[in-house]
Amino acid sequence: MGTDPRTGAAPDPTGPLSRVDYSERIPNNVDLAGDRRLQRALESWQPKFLDWWRQLGPALPTKDVYLRTAVAVGRDGWAHFEHVPMEEYRWGIFLAERDPDRKVNFGKHKGEPAWQEVPGEHRADLMRLIVVQGDTEPASVEQQRVLGNTAPSIYDLRNLFQVNVEEGRHLWAMVYLLHAYFGREGREEAEQLLKRNSGDLDAPRILGAFNEQTTDWLQFFMFTYFTDRDGKYQLGTLKESAFDPLARTCQFMLKEEAHHMFVGTTGVQRVLERTAELMSEHGTADILPHGGIPLAVIQRYLNFQFSVSMDLFGSERSTNAGNYFTSGLKGRWMETRRKDDHVLLEDTRELRYVEDGRITTTTVPLLSALNLDLRDEYVADCSHGVRRWNQALADAGLSERLYLPHEGFNRKVGVYAGHHVTPDGEVVDEAAWRARADEWLPTDADREQVASLMIPEYEYGRFAGWIAPPKTGINDQPVEFDYVHLADEGLL
């Protein structure tokens, strides 16, 4: 076996199974050609996906984009980079390698072989989990549709499009499972995934945060930091699933997801670097007249995106979450590294909630609080990023710091819904909340001001004035590389 004629990539040492077959209309490593019915069903969904992409995918016309495509699923060398017209991106179906000895690692089926088929008793629940996950993927593409028109650089534009094509691929990942394992109902759900749209009043996306508009690039960076990170944790639980095809799909999606969070972490970081620079230079926090985003506005954007992402974890107390765990459908984050019996019938934990106007705790069965278990892991992860961002402020000699708001702040789901909790964790009444909400959440004026800075910068190697350039480019290319060729390049 020589190099791949299409990609020039070296053969994958992990073997032929992991290599992606690009001679097919739908690239895949699941031997789609061996199942004609499934192949035909997916091939009839493909044009609908492409229609959706053309209508609700990136609005900015481009000639081609320097994108990575999966060529194998092995540990190394799974990604290949080249300039491709976006609508010719090879969306396909890539599952991580199958481990023939894999067992169920938790719940009542613990120790039994992992499932290669869907058990009848868990069919409805599994399908629901896959549909909810699948619904978020195209939603974010829709939310980010017009951002290309205001990109701060060609480098950032390329990253946006990379995230977009991969979220499209994540939709493929879920649609494959629906088609392959859930029959006619699964195919119907796959159709619906293209019919619900972000913010659509009649047919909105399933989860709240995925119906919010991504108004500007600061919000995009907050979204990829906080909301893609929710995705990481949800995929982390599904990667433990007893249903092996789901576990293997999510395992590979997580590899792609890492770049999305990189975009968020470094994006916010670069905004802060520029903000800090302007604050030092002009000796004021009011840097808007100097073309920067004030720290207070960045904090309000953070408060918003963190709180809506917290809602994505669902209610702290959830019988469903416990049942999913016990049945083996959904594990905990890093399930196999946990030092307990992985059945949890006897375990308890503390749960915070609001009673008589203050936050108090109670002890509940751990099985009833698994959404909270996952959310706590997420919050700990989020706080690492904030620490890193604060380092950028410290390095610039500033005393101001960013912080994560209290878990109860601005919540619409779970034990804090219906209460007003300040970012410091104080429970206040409606009047007090209303008097100060503008200090804590982005106002219309904030969004307008940020929008006023969002002037596109399409010259290679140049960056808009509100954001610092990155330290390095993508895939060892220089920062000023021609990552994107716009459709109207001749006019620039």
Binding residues vs Fe ion (CB under 5 A): 137, 167, 170, 228, 257, 260
SS3 of 470-486: CCCCCCCCCCCCCCEEE
Strand pairing class (420-421; 79-84): unpaired
Contact status, residue 332 vs residue 325, Cβ threshold 8 Å: yes
- Which C-beta is closer to Fe ion: that of 27 or that of 408? 27
Shortest separation between residue 128's beta carbon and Fe ion, angstroms: 18
- Which C-beta is closer to Fe ion: that of 163 or that of 450? 163
- Which C-beta is closer to Fe ion: that of 162 or that of 326? 162
CA–CA dist 287, 339 (Å, integer): 50
Contact status, residue 329 vs residue 239, Cβ threshold 8 Å: no
- Which C-beta is closer to Fe ion: that of 19 or that of 229? 229
**Amino acid at residue number 25:** R
Shortest separation between residue 161's beta carbon and Fe ion, angstroms: 13
CA–CA dist 422, 437 (Å, integer): 9
Token output for 291: 């073309």
Burial class (CB in 10 A: 0-12, 13-18, 19+), 101: exposed
| CA–centroid distance for 363 within its chain | 32
Q: Give the residue from 127, 98, 104, 130 showing the smallest Cα distance to 31.
A: 98
DSSP per-residue string spanning 192-203? HHHHS-TT-SSS
- Which C-beta is closer to Fe ion: that of 39 or that of 198? 198
Shortest separation between residue 45's beta carbon and Fe ion, angstroms: 18
Shortest separation between residue 378's beta carbon and Fe ion, angstroms: 14
State the sign of the Cα–Cα–Cα–Cα dihedral 30, 35, 40, 42: negative
- Which C-beta is closer to Fe ion: that of 172 or that of 301? 172
Shortest separation between residue 257's beta carbon and Fe ion, angstroms: 5
Shortest separation between residue 167's beta carbon and Fe ion, angstroms: 5
Q: Please give the C-alpha separations between residue 365 and each of 203, 335, 351, 377, in angstroms, as whole numbers.
A: 36, 18, 10, 18
CA–CA dist 234, 93 (Å, integer): 19
- Which C-beta is closer to Fe ion: that of 218 or that of 250? 250
- Which C-beta is closer to Fe ion: that of 177 or that of 295? 177
- Which C-beta is closer to Fe ion: that of 29 or that of 133? 133
**Amino acid at residue number 210:** F
Shortest separation between residue 253's beta carbon and Fe ion, angstroms: 6
Burial class (CB in 10 A: 0-12, 13-18, 19+), 472: exposed
Shortest separation between residue 115's beta carbon and Fe ion, angstroms: 24
Shortest separation between residue 487's beta carbon and Fe ion, angstroms: 26
**Amino acid at residue number 331:** G
Shortest separation between residue 137's beta carbon and Fe ion, angstroms: 5
Q: Please give the C-alpha separations between residue 401 and each of 26, 153, 223, 397, 466, in angstroms, as whole numbers.
A: 48, 27, 20, 11, 19
CA–CA dist 236, 247 (Å, integer): 9
- Which C-beta is closer to Fe ion: that of 137 or that of 311? 137
Q: Give the residue from 105, 138, 131, 124 showing the smallest Cα distance to 247.
A: 105
